[in-house]
Amino acid sequence: MNIAQLLEDNRIFARKVDKRLLERLVEEGQKPVATVISCSDSRVPVEVIFNQLELGKLFVIRVAGNVVADSSVKGSIEYAIEHLKTPYLIVLAHTECGAIKAYLEGIRKGEAGKLLSCIKIKSRELSKAVIENMELQVKIILEMGCVKRALGKGEIEVYGMHYDLGTGKVNILSKNGVRTV
């Protein structure tokens, strides 16, 4: 795969895409059903795993380790809640997360190190650490003013979910900060 192939694949997409849908999304704007904070891992293609392949269905915020650490992520969440009015906000963790592995290995150099330093977990076992980090990110989100207001008005539900790379299945682990399993 090279850049020319990526551009050719885009041309194929552009030829096949529903032009009426594109026009409608330009004219009417987006109205996604959910906001998903997901890891940047290429094995976690959010639109694919939720089978939401039509443009405009999901508002996806991707960051290594699904870490809600700075204004770019928090501002995107705020935009989704206050302007797009998405009724569901999902923090999507996944098995074998490279960012959590790097955190557990003590990597703290460079920009990735700065991001990883925002992870505050106790677990040393990868599978438990992934879940603990997801719970931490949900907690951070639940403390945001815009989320508190939307929850208070019944306008949003916040979910902690876990995607299994080996099975392709997503499981709900919490709703509005309360464990479901």
Reported as a single tens digit per residue, the pLDDT across 57-83 is 999 999 999 999 999 999 999 999 999
Domain boundaries, the chain: 1-29, 31-179
Superfamily of domain 31-179, CATH level 4: Carbonic anhydrase (3.40.1050.10)
108 has a pLDDT exceeding 90: no
Instruction: Indicate the SS3 state at residue 123.
Output: coil
HSE toward the beta carbon, residue 94, CA cutoff 13 A: 29
* pTM, two decimal places: 0.94
